[in-house]
Structure 1
Amino acid sequence: MLCIVIPVFNRLAYTRACLDSLRAQTEQSFRVIVVDDGSTDGTAEALATDYPEVTVLPGTGSLFWTAGVNLGLRHALSQGASWLMTMNNDVVAYPDFVARMLEAANSRPPALYGAFELDARTRQPVYAGGWLNWRTGSFRRLLDDVPPAQRQGQWPTECLPGRGLLIPRAVFERIGLFAADILPHYYADYDFTHQARLAGFEVYLNFDACLGTYPDESGDQRNRDQRSLRNYYQHLFSIRGGANLRDFTAFARRNCPPRDLPLCLLTGYSRRLVGYFLK
């Protein structure tokens, strides 16, 4: 059994579009669990009225991404799920997405699979995982390595986001849930896929399974689009800040090879402190 876990906080229109896209899947052998972390825009009422097939778990209003996902994952595991998928509410699953993911999952021993992300408005490629260079603090994108004509099937990768991440139950049994106490919002998904690799599981990007995403809608992207000293501070120190220095430090200390850690932190801090003004 596959369970799809979606943490939400407001943004009801996106949640509706996401759930409607799951209703339209060619493969329907899955259950959906929404963790509603105290939404104030009518999300709870809309889910109860319009999506009775969805299991809704209420949050405290302070779960953020990682604890919200973990709440849903615990429920799914308790229900006997053999495959689990994390998904954000601001994505749209193309009709064969679940079928393509399950097809890949059944093609080899248990492994993790990520989605090929396309801009929901333009259908242009947005993201497909990649590889971290610990010494330079940079990220090598799989999209830059794989020409368009070869973007099919599953390609090995190192780090994947939680948007459409398919995970076998065996991974949780070996390494536990996402690291909510250490990484409450950002980096938790990259940390999880990296920890899974260290535990012996393979990680793949599935070019055959596409999600539509909205790259301009993240809270940190809005910080970048409306630059100010306040937003710069949020960018570096807020839980929802994409360059959160505390979380980056925790992520690096957990995953970076010890010999590379000093240089990783130095280059990582430099990129985060300066990058806000360059992009």
Structure 2
Amino acid sequence: MEMNKKVIVCVPTYCEPEKVTKYLESCNFIKYRPFQLIIINANPGDKTSKIIKQEKKLRDYEIVEVCGQNDEFWSATVNRGLRLIAENAKPEDYILISNIDIVFDTDIVSLLLEQALKQGNCQMGAISTSNDHAISSGVQIKSWLATSTLHPYAGVDIENIPNGLLIKVDYLPTRCMLFPVEALMKVGVISDKWLPHYGADYEFSHRLAKAAYTPYIYTGVSIKVDKQNTGKSVYTHQSSYCESISNLMDIKNPSNPKFRINFILLVYPVYAIPTAILAYLVRTIIETILDKKQIYSLFGQKERGFSE
């Protein structure tokens, strides 16, 4: 099986030099070539830029710094890298979108690419872990109408997850997701206007799936995730309820009802939109007024979105 396709990693960052350093340390495990790393720096000229400049001299693969803007969020930042790839890469090459806050100790590129080539047209995601447990690594839709979902193995101890499983899902997060460049050329970039931060990766993955690139979780590749790195927690009440309610409209709040509705309009089938909007508004209320223990006791944790 040919493994000479170029793989281009696209990773955004903003004022996270320590995360960048750890990420580059993890990249030492990537032996696959040809390989290119594109880091989109939303605060160019900072310490991260200096780290990238130093590391360029030490690596046997190309590291490219793309200058972003500090007033842009995840989607627009990643799109800067994706547009560069679309302009310069070959359709048969592969893209791996990842977060800067992941760490790994295996050649994730070789392992994901091997599975992707076996499956044909697909998107391949690693299983994500935190505190020795899996977290949501992909979503299976049980019912669009009832907004019922399953997050395979989320909340399960990593020791109890079989190695080497391929799990078909409806969409993936982009913490560590591989797909062909030709897919990007077909579906376009991330919907940064409708979904500037949360939900954008799911919508993008769902669009790839509709274009016949089947999403899979591959348990043969695991990554460790820093869940506290970005965004706002929907579980802790460190502020008053009034402040929690006012923070609901923050772009980086995963419970933001505006962007949840936008996600529904982009992803859900038309017949399920009314009930989905109602269900997600109820979920927003639940996440605002209840704490973590109350949510877990009511809805459970394993294989649920709440386990994130």
Fold in common (TM above 0.5): yes
The answer for the alignment partner of 1:203 in structure 2 is 215
User: What are the within-5 Å matches in structure 2 for residues 78-97 of structure 1?
Assistant: 78-81=87-90, 82-97=93-108
Q: How far apart in 2 are the matches of 1:47 and 1:96?
A: 21
The answer for the alignment partner of 1:127 in structure 2 is 136
Q: How far apart in 2 are the matches of 1:216 and 1:127?
A: 15
Q: How far apart in 2 are the matches of 1:209 and 1:225?
A: 34
User: What are the within-5 Å matches in structure 2 for residues 126-205 of structure 1?
Assistant: 126-132=135-141, 133-143=143-153, 148=160, 150-205=162-217
Q: How far apart in 1 are the matches of 2:140 and 2:243?
A: 32
Q: How far apart in 1 are the matches of 2:134 and 2:105?
A: 14
Asked whether 1:17 is paired with 2:30, we answer no
Compute the TM-score of the two structures, normalised by the length of structure 1.
0.90
Letter in 1 for 2:77: G
Compute the TM-score of the two structures, normalised by the length of structure 2.
0.82
Q: How far apart in 2 are the matches of 1:125 and 1:174?
A: 32
**1:174–1:111 distance in 2 versus 1, CA, 3 Å:** same
The answer for the alignment partner of 2:13 in structure 1 is 8
Q: How far apart in 2 are the matches of 1:146 and 1:124?
A: 5
**1:143–1:59 distance in 2 versus 1, CA, 3 Å:** same
Letter in 1 for 2:139: G
The answer for the alignment partner of 1:105 in structure 2 is 116
The answer for the alignment partner of 1:216 in structure 2 is 228
Contact 2:171 2:205 in 1 (8 A): yes
Secondary structure in structure 2 of the residue aligned to 1:206: strand
Q: How far apart in 2 are the matches of 1:170 and 1:144?
A: 31
**1:139–1:233 distance in 2 versus 1, CA, 3 Å:** farther
Identity score, percent: 22
C-alpha displacement of 1:225: 5.7
C-alpha displacement of 1:191: 0.3
Q: How far apart in 2 are the matches of 1:222 and 1:46?
A: 33
The answer for the alignment partner of 1:72 in structure 2 is 81
Contact 2:145 2:271 in 1 (8 A): no
Secondary structure in structure 1 of the residue aligned to 2:233: helix
Secondary structure in structure 1 of the residue aligned to 2:24: helix
The answer for the alignment partner of 2:274 in structure 1 is 262
C-alpha displacement of 1:276: 2.6
Structure 1 range deviating more: 105-114 or 42-51: 42-51
Contact 1:216 1:222 in 2 (8 A): no
Contact 1:131 1:140 in 2 (8 A): yes
Structure 1 range deviating more: 69-78 or 41-50: 41-50
The answer for the alignment partner of 2:243 in structure 1 is 230
Asked whether 1:60 is paired with 2:69, we answer yes
Letter in 2 for 1:26: K
C-alpha displacement of 1:223: 7.7
Structure 1 range deviating more: 75-84 or 64-73: 75-84
Corresponding residue to 1:114 among 125, 130, 136: 125
Letter in 2 for 1:230: E
Structure 1 range deviating more: 143-152 or 103-112: 143-152
Q: How far apart in 2 are the matches of 1:145 and 1:163?
A: 17
Number of positions where the alignment pairs a residue of Structure 1 with one of Structure 2: 276
Return 5+ residue gaps in structure 1 as ranges.
none
The answer for the alignment partner of 1:30 in structure 2 is 35
The answer for the alignment partner of 2:3 in structure 1 is none
Secondary structure in structure 2 of the residue aligned to 1:210: strand
